[in-house]
Structure 1
């Protein structure tokens, strides 16, 4: 079978107006002419699951820290026998990744190291995980304590008297470096347990496939489900608040949640309002450090700063409660289903194999919740505080005249910001008036804004160059759903493909029919109606409140361990992930048949014309 290929990086057209885009990013993040032969040999896939929009220069920090730290745990900490890290580049504003295999001759030597290292973690899982929480929360509180204040007119007299002999500018410089270091620190912690969660699950997965070659992937996933995950906690808090509002009979206060201040004032003035507000305050910290995006962009909106978002979800839950709907996740049913499947397969095994099966399943079920839970602490809470501090600094520098818009610092790379800070403290320190940057940056930022906007006009290629015959890297398969079959389908190698049928990962079982609702951006979530099928490039954890409304989920990217797959299994909803193109093929209102057991999505009929933001709007954040 001859392999078809994706375009080479150099084959892709630069969108008009984006010429010179490479200069926006550090040299090590772009393809190099001098390395063209080597880089064209590698297969690269676009990670639009985590980075669906074009990077502004400062925003590359999330991609760089995440992929670097993922790699260090594979290649340097855990010594995974067959998988090093993932190489990465930015091309035309989007992030591309290439899994790095371990050379065949090095695999055997890594096995004993790998076993000793994961053995230590799995033997001390609870204690180490407890320490992880302490480390991560410590980093967040250190980050919260940083501030970026404008420098004073003169050094205060007490600094003269105390012999301090410094002008305070060092605090500004140190706090900026510290902010970057603390962000890096929590990204290192992020992967300490994540890779182990995948390893434990994959080990159980491979064992099941060996013992039961025909066992569906979903049955394996079901055997570890029904767990109480912290990532569902923000959504659970909203449900509690909705129930409390119904009990206290203050539901009328939620008629206009778009104005949070007015809504909270109305609640405060009503009888029982004080009880509700106390519960609201309790829920906010930390559970509203939750973004409607994924934490990787400066424009991501966090509940704690945009309280109309959680209030809107609560109002929706109140309506559903008043209609007599059950808004809780069917946890008991999931646990019952899990126990049934586990016992059916266990009974087929000999006693000694059953013992191995039990040990591997228990380990997978223990480690599995972390795959989602870490998300709250890092992508949501850590990055929420990080972006808030970045905005604080950007606004202070904007007030000094360094750029036109309060958040324009995002158009500078993080190392360029260090130069700007030194420029500022120098001009201030010597009494020279404005920093030089005031004549350089406003114009340069406008030029860069034009390039970023031009890059946004083109969709990224799903992959680059020739794919390998077989894709083995575990994270690539489990998280992104980049499998040998999936890549063939993207290339159109799936010749038997029927028209009007999209294929993807069978991510959560069940078969339903219903009208599609295409959601390209979190801002369109309010359009979702009960009984619709959600179709999106990818879903975010904070979309939890709509999972109780919809019938099924279809995404463009994502594997068995993607967020959409895990959440749909926990809500008992069918899901097909990794279809490649559902969000751009399907239109809102079209009737769909989603088969999450087979991994197919059929478009049953053309839709009536639908108007409104969700109809076919490709929203660019």
Structure 2
């Protein structure tokens, strides 16, 4: 909304027009599906569709409501950090975020008891920062805990191999459409100011705090995610292409590099990659094979999600009938 009201940039589309187009597409898709169903299946479809449309907003509303308290908590922690700096416990107010809960409670108790010279936690903060920087370079596992018996579900997870090579990256086709543009690798809110209209948003993962960028993005590409994750849902709402769960996007795509995103096929082509590089990723050597592999991955992920939802619904129904 802010981008739209700031008419000087032309960065934001009219939200009312976007909603009108989305509603028209929804009505068209609904009519097409209902026309192919017999009366019994049509009745079941109508009931499930109504339930989905009523329940889907709850997820985004819940996440937004949880986030309402963050600004107040951050202000409180910044003030606490400022006092800990004055007492010599940490080097900068922002370092308060690297303290463990037990350490913070101990320091607060000492402060409340009148102590104004507290133990120095600077070395611990520095070690944790270094560990965090190292872990950021590691591809996260598909699920936790990463036990042996859970590995049988790896084939159902959306992200492909984390060692993709070649100019074509494969992921989950999350929102249809294709676009070519410059990639903007965004690590977090500190990078939001670098994002300009027409950039392809490349990130590890997105959360509701990233939603304003979708109004300016030409497409979305992430390391982590599937058909039901935040980036997929918002990209479809905004009508922009999205490929999620590549596993390697933030490591393989350079900031400013031109990329072609095909949200229907689930592929991201690195246009500045040397032409002689051979795509060594498993699952095929050409675009058609990439399409089949990506679609299959998307269907497998959707089937897994549907199975989980079905199990939860069944458990709730059984519990209510007890």
Give the TM-score of the pair, scaled to structure 2.
0.72
Mapped partners of 2:255, 2:112: distance in 1: 53
1:338 equivalent in alignment to 2:14: no
Matching residue within 76, 90, 102 for 1:415: 102
The answer to whether the Cα contact below 8 Å between 2:162 and 2:247 also exists between their aligned partners in 1 is: no
- Structure 2: runs of 5 or more not aligned: 275-322
| 2:58 is the alignment partner of 1:386 | no
Change (3 A) 1:332 1:396: same
**Deviation string, structure 1 residues 26-50 (Cα, Å, up to 9, x no partner):** xxxxxxxxxxxxxxxxxxxxxxxxx
Q: Which runs of 5+ in 1 are unaligned?
A: 1-235, 243-313, 429-433, 472-481, 608-621
| SS of the residue 1:514 aligns to | strand
Residues 456 and 370 of structure 1: is their aligned pair in 2 closer, same or farther, counting only changes over 3 Å?
A: same
Write the distance in 2 (CA, Å) between the matches of 1:411 and 1:239.
34
* Residue number in structure 2 paired with 1:365: 53
Q: Structure 1 603/388 Cα, relative in aligned 2: closer, same or farther at 3 Å?
A: same
Contact 1:327 1:548 in 2 (8 A): no
Structure 1 residue 391: Cα displacement = 2.5
User: Conserved in 2, the CA contact under 8 Å of 1:508 and 1:569?
Assistant: yes
Cα deviation, residue 511, structure 1: 1.7
User: Corresponding residue for 2:140?
Assistant: 462
Q: 2:196 is matched with which residue? A: 529
Q: Deviations over 1:568-608 (max 9, x none)?
A: 1111001001110111101233332211112111223349x
Q: Check whether the contact 2:3–2:9 (CA below 8 A) recurs between aligned residues.
A: no
1:348: which partner in 2? 36
1:590 correspondence with 2:257: yes
1:420 shift after superposition: 2.8
Give the drift of 1:558.
1.4
> Could you say which residue in structure 2 is the equivalent of 1:501?
168
Q: Contact (CA 8 Å) 2:169, 2:267: kept in 1 or not?
A: yes
Return the alpha-carbon distance in structure 1 between the equivalents of residues 89 and 256 of structure 2.
47
Q: Deviations over 1:216-275 (max 9, x none)?
A: xxxxxxxxxxxxxxxxxxxx2x257x3xxxxxxxxxxxxxxxxxxxxxxxxxxxxxxxxx
Of the candidates 398, 405, 412, which is equivalent to residue 92 of structure 2?
A: 405
* Separation in structure 2 between the aligned mates of residue 447 and residue 501 of structure 1, nearest angstrom: 43
Residues 517 and 535 in structure 1, CA contact (< 8 A), matched pair in contact too: yes
Partner Cα separation in structure 1 for residue 26 and residue 193 of structure 2? 33
Q: Compute the displacement of 1:498 (Å).
A: 7.6
Query: Would you say the 8 A contact 2:197–2:216 is kept in 1?
Result: yes
Q: Greater Rg, structure 1 or structure 2? A: 1
SS of equivalent to 2:78: helix
Query: CA contact under 8 A between 1:591 and 1:606: conserved in structure 2?
Result: no
What secondary structure, in the 3-state scheme, does the structure 2 residue paired with 1:318 have?
Answer: coil
Deviation of the 1:470 alpha carbon: 4.2
Cα distance in 1 for residues equivalent to 2:61 and 2:247: 26
The question of whether the paired residues in 2 share the 8 Å contact of 1:320 and 1:327 is answered with no
Is 1:554 the counterpart of 2:221? The answer is yes
* Aligned-partner SS, 1:580: coil
Which residue of 1 is the match for residue 183 of structure 2? 516
Aligned residues: 267
Verify the 8 A CA contact 2:81 2:92 in the aligned structure 1. Answer: no
Closer, same or farther in 2 for the Cα pair 1:395/1:515, shift >3 Å?
A: closer
Change (3 A) 1:346 1:498: farther
Structure 1 pair 361–528 and aligned structure 2 pair: CA distance change class (3 A)? same
Shift of 1:397: 4.4
Whole-angstrom CA distance in 1 between matches of 2:166 and 2:185: 20
Q: Which structure ranks higher in relative contact order (CA pairs < 8 Å, sequence separation ≥ 6)?
A: 1
Query: Measured at CA, do residues 422 and 457 of structure 1 come closer, stay the same or move farther in structure 2, by a change above 3 Å?
Result: closer
Superposed CA RMSD in Å reads 2.8
Cα 1:391/1:349, change in 2 over 3 Å: same
Gap change, CA 1:500 and 1:386, over 3 Å in 2: same
- The structural deviation recorded for 1:533 is 1.8
> Matched residue of 2:9: which SS?
helix
Alignment partner of 2:224: what SS?
coil
Task: Provide the C-alpha distance between the structure 1 equivalents of 2:245 and 2:46, rounded to a whole number of angstroms.
Answer: 31
